[in-house]
Amino acid sequence: MSDAQVTREGLENVRPGREARIWSASNGGRRGEGPVDHPRSSYYGNSIINPPVWEELDIAGYLFLGGLAGASSILAAGGDLTRRPTLARRSRLCASAAIAGSLTALIHDLGRPARFINMMRVVKPTSPMSIGTWILAAYSPLNFATSASDLTGIARPVGRAAGLGAAALGPAVASYTAALIANTAVPAWHGAHREMPFLFAGSAASAGAGFGLLAAPLAENAPAQRMAMAGAVAELAAEQLMERRLGMVAESMRTGTAGKRLKAAKALTALGAVGAATLGRRNRVGAALSGAALVAGSAVTRFGIFAAGMASATDPKYTVEPQRARLDATR
């Protein structure tokens, strides 16, 4: 019965409709059992987070090229300091080409490319993309300067100094992108945020060194060979750790497109590393092939990671299950 009254004075016990009772006790005494027997895991299988709207070629390419550029700058500077002119020059040019490509990809992927300038509006430590943009803003000119002076022969000392500067920023360029993709709600990326920097740094090193093997004569490729092996090992090791850490989410890296790519990437990287170790200093062709394999391995790795992220974002289970497990653990 309602406790509403209309007395001669007017309405009494008025309560707002938002306090309406639902499925009131008048209803069959089935209270308290709680809901049962209905799909619990998702809303019509719809993804919970919105998957990235990034173009694969742009962003995966940008990740790879950034790594290649950063590592190449280091090799270039090293080659310069250790009088390995071919390695130095070719790595230098590679870095410039790569970073140019990387920037192009980044801008191309913007919904409003003309507004790239807005990246310079703020400095946001909370946004790896903001920090990255500022890094690139410093790194790219140094890079282009050293390449230009090398090609034209103008102001060589300045060019060399710029090259050293670029080399100093190289590692940052090569690895900040790890934070960039890890700092999202994408399960496969965020879940791997601890290993991703090492994976990217290693992958970058093996890519840069791989190019060194490909580009430099046997006489000059000793550092590239050693760096390639170190990078490859780091990349493969980080990937192992990452997949273990990800638990059920790792499935998104083992299956589908991502699975295929990452398997291929591992094979290429391993092959490249072994090739570099065995033929790297003996056989120009072998060195070149090993180097090519490493470059390819690094590229395919980035595309694989990208695909894994997309897969893990699209299927709600990768978002729900870890969170559900976390909750149940705390309950």
CB of 204 to another protein, least distance (A): 7
Q: Which positions from 127 through 146 interact with another protein, judged by CB under 8 A?
A: 127-131, 133
What own/partner pairs with CB < 8 Å and gap ≥ 24 does 306-309 have? Answer: 306/56, 306/59, 306/60, 306/63, 306/181, 307/56, 307/256, 307/257, 307/258, 307/261, 308/188, 308/189, 308/252, 308/253, 308/258, 308/262, 309/52, 309/181, 309/184, 309/186, 309/188, 309/189, 309/252
235 contacts another protein (rule: CB under 8 A): no
Q: Rule CB under 8 A: say whether 282 interacts with another protein.
A: no
E-strand spans in 55-133?
none
For another protein (CB under 8 A), the number of binding residues is 127
Among 54, 259, 284, 292, binds another protein (CB under 8 A): 54
Residue 275 Cα distances to 86, 220, 269, 287, 292, angstroms: 21, 17, 10, 7, 10
Closer residue to another protein, CB minimum distance, 160 or 193: 193
CA 324, CA 321: separation in Å to the nearest integer? Answer: 5
Residue among 94, 103, 174, 268 that touches another protein (CB under 8 A): 174
User: In the structure encoding, which two tokens stand for residue 119, read together?
Assistant: 């990246």
Among 63, 65, 68, 75, binds another protein (CB under 8 A): 75
285 binds another protein (CB under 8 A): no
Which of 160, 226, 263, 284 is in the footprint of another protein by CB under 8 A? 226
Of positions 194, 240, 244, 247, contacts another protein by CB under 8 A: 194
CB of 301 to another protein, least distance (A): 15
Cβ atoms of 180 and 189 closer than 8 Å: no
Q: Is 165 in the site for another protein (CB under 8 A)?
A: no
- Each residue 97-126 as x (binds another protein by CB under 8 A) or -, in order, gives ------------xxxxx-xx-xxxxxxxxx
Residue type, 213: L
Q: Mask: binding to another protein, 5-44, rule CB under 8 A, as x and -?
A: xxxx-xx-xxxxxxxxxxxxxxxx-xxxxxxxxxxxxxxx
Q: Which is nearer to another protein, 64 or 200 (CB)?
A: 200
Q: Is the dihedral of CA 276, 279, 282, 285 positive or negative?
A: negative
Q: Verify binding: residue 157, another protein, rule CB under 8 A.
A: no
